[in-house]
Amino acid sequence: MHTAAIVKALSNASTTSEFSGRYYAEQRLTNTTLTITVDGVGAITFPINKGTIQKLIGSSRPAQYGLREKTLKDTTVRNTHEITADKMHVAYEGKGFTAMMDKIRKALGLSDQTKLIPHLHNMLIYDAGQFFKSHQDTEKLDDMVATLVVALPCPHIGGDLLIRHNKDEHRFTSENLDGDSIKCVAFYSDCQHEVEKVKKGARIVLTYNLVLAGGEALDIGLANPVLQKALKHYFDGSLEIERAEPLKLAYLLEHSYTEHNLNWNRLKGADGQRARELASAAQACGLVPHLALVEIHENWATEGGEDGAEDAEPSELIDSGITLSTWFDKDNHRLPYSACSISEDEICSHAEYADSDPDEQEYEGYMGNYGNTVDYWYRRAAIVLWSESDQVAMQFKFDYPSAVRALVKLTQGPSNHQAVLKTIRSSGDLLFQYRSRSHPADKGGKPKNYLDSFAQIAAYIDQREVAQNLLRYFSVNELTASNVKSFVLLQECYGAGWCLGLFNKAKERSKTDYLFTGSDRPTKETEALAHAAVKAELDMELLNYIIAEAVDAHIKDNQADGRMRPRELKRSLLERMNDARALLRATFVLTNAAAGRKLIDHIITTPSHYSLAPCAEWLIDILRSDIPKTHEMAVKSLRDHVTRSMDGELSKGVKAANDWSIDSKLPCNCHQCGPVNVFLQASNESSKTLAVAQQHRSHIIGNFDGQLLPVKISVVAKGSPHKLVLDKWPNLQKEANDRFNDLKVLRERLT
């Protein structure tokens, strides 16, 4: 894309003489009388003489330094004397110091609406041979952005301060022999810096923490017409290319920021000016500006070095990704947006991030095909822009449910067709995010059913193909009592045949596309859907399709349950009966005799899933309702089946007190299980002891599992092999007779 023109159009220190916004600012303190009094030493006179230096060192302590959260003392890293602020009284007479702070603010590129407030930190005395190796300051105060060093007149050679930012380096020299002027330098806190060894004399400085105040509202910079043109070109160019989601632009800033100090008016150095220019140009071009943190992650295969060794060189980029997070709008309000990815051609910057050292790196050992690998993380902040007209589309990325609501709301206006169509177009695949397994709505629950909203949108746009595309992931099983009314809008707009085609296509695709695993309507809600669909005047063909699909799904589920043992079948019996009842009633409502017949035939031919007594009760309940004429035959056949089966059972009569036979068998009849089955059916045997080897015992016991047979199993650990003891339940006859009596009562109710 055209990001090079955008970068070129932004203010650049090397091309603009007026440019302010460096990472450091050097000044001389003039028109000011500086007085310093140190406890135990007294007032200091300039230039500072040898006697005073010795006294100052006498009142000092060795300076420590911070490494992450720790404070350390290590004279090979930092070797200098320190006098803390509480032991000093420092005063500047005249306006010179205040004027200088303002010049520093400007030179650092900070907005005119802000103010730098110095907080005295300490006095440092670098005697001959002393130094401070390269380090980065820890931000000691909230809102601290920079450090100010005031070099006092004191003869010395060496002791230069080196300040580094990215690839740049600035040398601040304070050496003097009889100087009476006061040199100052300020630099941003994220700069690496070091103090070289003092060769002769002593380098004495005051250091200040600079805190930034003010600047709550964005100070929009001057118009930059070249930049505006470049941005327009970049975003208009995207119209020609079909994209999966709206085009964005992320300009990477040069300084580092955290979520705590990311703020439009507190951007450091050149970042501030460029951000203001981008924000101003964005407004002129109909773009929405944001501030965000960026993490660039790269995974490289390496060559050379030992196993996982750090001297290995990256050779081939395996994978990379750029993530934006922690969003702020132009009023510095934190936005509730989630993290999102951005493609590499959407980022630009003045300095290539890969030219600097990664903020974090991790070597990993051997990784299959790739050998050894190394991970790099670069952390930056960025100005992120996208088109105002893509705002709803972008919302799909950040907060899916509210974006859907916003789009549905648009469809409630009479003349928003173009706006709705544009949003659909620019949202691309983001629209279908709810179908993806990684979607937040998926976590801890079923995906939400969006058919209602999507049907409303698809009906509003009145474009067959776009509507079809929009609804391509919905199957008939997502139609419910609460969304059928919106679905009827589609029927009115595009015709029943179109709607049917939609479901048929989805059914075909659902076999291969995982995006179809979704929020299927529970079977028990089918009856409610039937009522609602009839009331909403859904087309007859669609009504029949719904019920045929639902009955087929129920039968298919039960077939899939074919391997279930009696225990699981019993556990799921109630739900199965309730589902079947809801389905049968739905066929009543829709007067669909074929579907009713199919369901009843299924019940009759699958007795393992519909045991006799519950089935009889279920039938009694059905018979109480109004059965449409179309279904009378089918219901009668079920009734005949049930009564015949009951009569067959009842004809066996009650179980005699000495009858120990059990009607069921183990699911296996092998050499070991055969004798057990004989015992189960034997009417004169209540207990049996079998001497069987351990592996065969386990096989038999395993076959009892889940069969709900009225037998107690125990193992007597005596002799070789041990004994397997089977005892039929002592209340076997009573239970059988209780069941017999219950069945008799039910049979009477069915006459």
Q: Which of 406, 536, 613, 668 binds Zn ion (CB under 5 A)?
A: 668
Shortest distance, position 485 Cβ to Zn ion, whole Å: 57
Shortest distance, position 683 Cβ to Zn ion, whole Å: 23
For Zn ion, give the closer residue by CB, 182 or 711: 711
Shortest distance, position 701 Cβ to Zn ion, whole Å: 11
Q: Which of 253, 404, 673, 724 binds Zn ion (CB under 5 A)?
A: 673
Shortest distance, position 699 Cβ to Zn ion, whole Å: 6
Stretch that binds Zn ion, among 35-43, 254-262, 305-313, 670-678 (CB under 5 A): 670-678
C-alpha 569/C-alpha 608 separation (Å) is 8
Stretch that binds Zn ion, among 104-112, 329-337, 439-447, 669-677 (CB under 5 A): 669-677
* Helix ranges restricted to H, 428-539: 451-461, 464-470, 484-494, 496-510, 526-535
Shortest distance, position 703 Cβ to Zn ion, whole Å: 6
C-alpha 353/C-alpha 586 separation (Å) is 64
670 near Zn ion, rule: CB under 5 A: yes
Whether residue 186 contacts residue 203, with contact meaning beta carbons closer than 8 Å, is answered with no
For Zn ion, give the closer residue by CB, 240 or 705: 705
- Give the contact letters, 610-649, x = binds to Zn ion (CB under 5 A), - = no: ----------------------------------------
Stretch that binds Zn ion, among 63-71, 419-427, 546-554, 665-673 (CB under 5 A): 665-673
**Tokens for 156?**
């010395």
For Zn ion, give the closer residue by CB, 564 or 668: 668
CA distances (Å), 472 to each of 390, 392, 438, 463, in order? Answer: 23, 21, 19, 14
Shortest distance, position 662 Cβ to Zn ion, whole Å: 17
For Zn ion, give the closer residue by CB, 214 or 675: 675
Scanning residues 362 to 401, which ones bind Zn ion (CB under 5 A)? none
For Zn ion, give the closer residue by CB, 488 or 676: 676
Q: Which of 457, 538, 462 is nearest to 503 (CA)?
A: 538
Stretch that binds Zn ion, among 160-168, 193-201, 276-284, 667-675 (CB under 5 A): 667-675
**Tokens for 400?**
């899916």
Pick left, alpha or beta for residue 21 (phi over 0 → left; psi -120 to 50 → alpha; otherwise beta). Answer: left
476 near Zn ion, rule: CB under 5 A: no
Shortest distance, position 712 Cβ to Zn ion, whole Å: 20
Whether residue 558 contacts residue 602, with contact meaning beta carbons closer than 8 Å, is answered with yes
Stretch that binds Zn ion, among 252-260, 529-537, 563-571, 666-674 (CB under 5 A): 666-674
For Zn ion, give the closer residue by CB, 572 or 669: 669
* Helix ranges restricted to H, 40-174: 50-59, 96-107
Stretch that binds Zn ion, among 20-28, 512-520, 580-588, 661-669 (CB under 5 A): 661-669
The answer to whether the peptide bond before residue 47 is cis (omega within 30 degrees of 0) is yes
DSSP state string for 141-187: STTEEEEEEEE-S--EEE-PEEEEETTEEEEE---BSS---EEEEEE
Q: Which of 413, 538, 550 is nearest to 485 (CA)?
A: 538
For Zn ion, give the closer residue by CB, 441 or 713: 713
Stretch that binds Zn ion, among 103-111, 642-650, 672-680, 736-744 (CB under 5 A): 672-680
Shortest distance, position 700 Cβ to Zn ion, whole Å: 7
| Number of chain residues interacting with Zn ion (CB under 5 A) | 3
Q: What is the number of other CB atoms lying within 10 angstroms of the CB of residue 236?
A: 13
Q: Which helix (H) or strand (E) holds 578?
A: helix 573-589
Shortest distance, position 651 Cβ to Zn ion, whole Å: 32
Q: Which of 92, 42, 74 is nearest to 206 (CA)?
A: 92
Q: Please name the residues in contact with 345: beta carbons below 8 A apart, sequence gap of 6 or more.
A: 1, 3
Shortest distance, position 713 Cβ to Zn ion, whole Å: 15
Stretch that binds Zn ion, among 52-60, 255-263, 419-427, 664-672 (CB under 5 A): 664-672
Scanning residues 47 to 106, which ones bind Zn ion (CB under 5 A)? none
**Does residue 35 sit in helix, strand or coil?**
strand
Q: Please name the residues in contact with 641: beta carbons below 8 A apart, sequence gap of 6 or more.
A: 604
In sequence order, what are the beta bridge partners of 206? Answer: 123, 150
Buried b / exposed e along 476-508 (16+ C-beta atoms within 10 A)? bbbbbbebbbbbbebbebbebeebbebbeebee
For Zn ion, give the closer residue by CB, 105 or 697: 697
Stretch that binds Zn ion, among 85-93, 195-203, 518-526, 662-670 (CB under 5 A): 662-670
For Zn ion, give the closer residue by CB, 421 or 668: 668
701 near Zn ion, rule: CB under 5 A: no
Whether residue 80 contacts residue 195, with contact meaning beta carbons closer than 8 Å, is answered with yes
Buried b / exposed e along 104-125 (16+ C-beta atoms within 10 A)? bbebbbbbeebebbbebbbbbb
Scanning residues 293 to 312, which ones bind Zn ion (CB under 5 A)? none
Q: Which of 1, 3, 2, 21 is nearest to 11 (CA)?
A: 21
Shortest distance, position 543 Cβ to Zn ion, whole Å: 50
For Zn ion, give the closer residue by CB, 1 or 668: 668
For Zn ion, give the closer residue by CB, 542 or 700: 700
Q: Which residues bind Zn ion (CB under 5 A)?
A: 668, 670, 673
